[in-house]
Amino acid sequence: MAVYKPAKRESKTEYKHRTFERQDPSDQFRLLACFHSSRNIPGLINLIEASRGTEKRQGLCVYAFCESADRKRAAMIILPFHKHQRVDGTLETTRIEFRSVNRRVLERATCSVAILVDRGFGGSTHVAASNVSSSITMLFFGGKDDREALAYGARMAEHPGISLTVMRYVAGQNSPGEISTVDLNDGPDSSGISDGEYLAEFRKRIREDGSIKYEEKVVNNPVETAESIRGFSKCNLFLVGRSPEGPVAACLSAKIECSELGSVGNFLTSPEFVTSASVLVVQQYSTEKRSTPRHSTMSSGKVAELPAGEMEEGKMEV
């Protein structure tokens, strides 16, 4: 098994968009889509179809196979999770070395990264644009990863066959110590952007958009949060940030089996959460170094690194 590590080279043009969250969302969205086997292809293609946007956009440029995100100036890399769904609904490890690859990409990528836990998103075959009909739920707790997931979800909602529900969770003022309270107008994070300001602008943009529904839920303990999330279990896709910020997300899951999915992603893929919905876990690019803790059951197999130009590539524009 090999993981791509791009060779350093001089760039002829500026690499402007390393994230999906940007001032001008109409700019072209470059996506690097990767797969481990043919099993991953239908769900991945259906996700790409849902990411088209509208005719007003400059388009979606997709690079398939393992090619350098840096060389292609991708704004996001989408990777398949290292587990697949069995007939009984549980997740089973396909090949443990794929987990090593995903972790290295999360740590080293020069753009945003998303991991797709595919439970049959869109069905077992490619769904034509005219037949797309999916409901997406974005769980918002706070922080830059959640904002990146929300920005991606807003683009998907431009597809005529996609409906998006954004649920923001806020700690209640009467929380009995299990969840600390938080101000709705919270201050800016390390990126200099506050969730309150970002959401206010987002709500202004979607005011006349019937395909997007925004709600806020006040919760007083982890049980209330979990029960609320279970109310969306019949959707087709959950969109979440890998490292959500704020006290509500911190108290949601004490057990994290796969650190690459974060606390909310682990909850949505746990045996206790019954759903057929796929999960897309998003990590926004940051100049700050990210670390992915190794699990005790992690395979110690060696992961090779290939120089630039030794992996097959493909490209399509939609």
pLDDT of residue 292: 63
Task: Specify the fold of 20-317.
Answer: Rossmann fold (3.40.50)
Give pLDDT, residue 117: 95
Give Cα separations from 21 to 111, 117, 151, 282 (angstroms): 11, 22, 6, 12
The DSSP symbol for 201 reads H
pLDDT of residue 103: 93
Report the pLDDT value the prediction gives residue 4, as an integer from 0 to 100. Answer: 43
* Amino acid letter, 236: N
Listed as ranges, residues in the chain with pLDDT below 50 are: 1-6, 10, 66, 181-185, 295-313, 316-318
Confidence (pLDDT) at 216: 95
**Cα(196)–Cα(186) distance, integer angstroms:** 6
Q: Residue for token digits 């670390």?
A: 291
Q: Which of 239, 244, 231 is nearest to 170 (CA)?
A: 244
Its pTM stands at 0.79
Do residues 1 and 98 make contact, with C-beta atoms less than 8 angstroms apart?
A: yes
Q: Find out whether 142 and 249 touch, Cβ atoms under 8 Å.
A: yes
| The pLDDT of residue 283 | 96
d(CA 198, CA 144): 10
Q: Residue 1: its pLDDT value, please?
A: 38
pLDDT digits (tens, 9 = 90+) for 28-82: 678 888 887 788 888 888 888 887 766 555 566 766 674 567 777 888 999 999 9
